[in-house]
Amino acid sequence: MRAPRRIAESDAQALWEHGGFPDLFVRRNPRLTRRWLSLRRQQLVREDIRDLTGVRELGQLETLVDLLLERSGDQLNYSSLASEVQVSVDTLRRWVDTLCGFHLGFLLRPWFRNVASSLRKEPKWFLCDWSGIADPGKRAVTFVACHLLKAVHGWTDLGLGEFQLGYLRDKKKREVDFVVVRDRKPWMLVEVKLSDEHLTPALPFFQEQLKAPHAFHVVMNAAFVDADCFSRQNGPLVVPAKTLLSQLL
């Protein structure tokens, strides 16, 4: 991992408010950002997906998009969602995959040593752009998810290992927001909070069970600290998001 790097508070705030698309980040105009979000949704459904996939049930697809825009970070119940949209479960699955293909969002699956078990469990849905998420908690989790996914893809492309991103949940409903798997072994656990610095019991529990070298309780609103998050491996650490994310790609 690279050394932590402080960024200007104005840049950090702009990234949080306007997302990672370069033009919106540079211009930092709230009206432009809101208008862009609305136009992107309309163009995605009414033009891109219609023209390139042949989907004709555009009204129902728009309903699905509206529901997913409110559910970033949530586990997807395909049966329930299909009932809300009034399509079959198979159609719903195809549409979600299509939206992922058009980069509206992405799916993360729970991690198990048994790959088949992971595939049978319901995934979590995350938007690729957090700027339009009204709920601060959902925005925070999505913000970190996007940065972790970028890092996982980058590290794999650089030949540093085979990295995957998932989440953890057991039968007792203990859960950790993210697990980064390196060469098929849990390597880093991440739990995200807006401001709460109290460790959730699930984080040390899963670190002990999985023997992951790193476990971080990431606090979005904490000030940057110039310290290497990866220098310790002896228990979960409470770290500022600004510090941890600066050490990724």
Query: Per-residue pLDDT tens for 198-226?
Result: 999 999 999 999 999 999 999 999 999 99
Please return the burial class of 144, using the count of CB atoms within 10 Å of its CB with bins 0-12, 13-18 and 19+.
buried
User: Measuring CA to CA, how many Å separate 194 from each of 59, 108, 125, 160, 248?
Assistant: 35, 21, 19, 31, 20
pTM, whole model, 2 decimals?
0.95
Phi-psi region of 161 (alpha: psi -120 to 50; beta: other; left: phi over 0): left
For 63-88, write each residue's pLDDT tens digit.
999 999 999 999 999 999 999 999 99
Half-sphere exposure of 230 (CA within 13 A, CB side): 13
Between β-strands 105-108 and 124-127, what pairing exists: parallel, antiparallel or unpaired?
antiparallel
For 26-45, write each residue's pLDDT tens digit.
999 999 999 999 999 989 98
Contact between 40 and 99 under an 8 Å Cβ cutoff? The reply is: no
Distance CA 170, CA 40 (A): 37
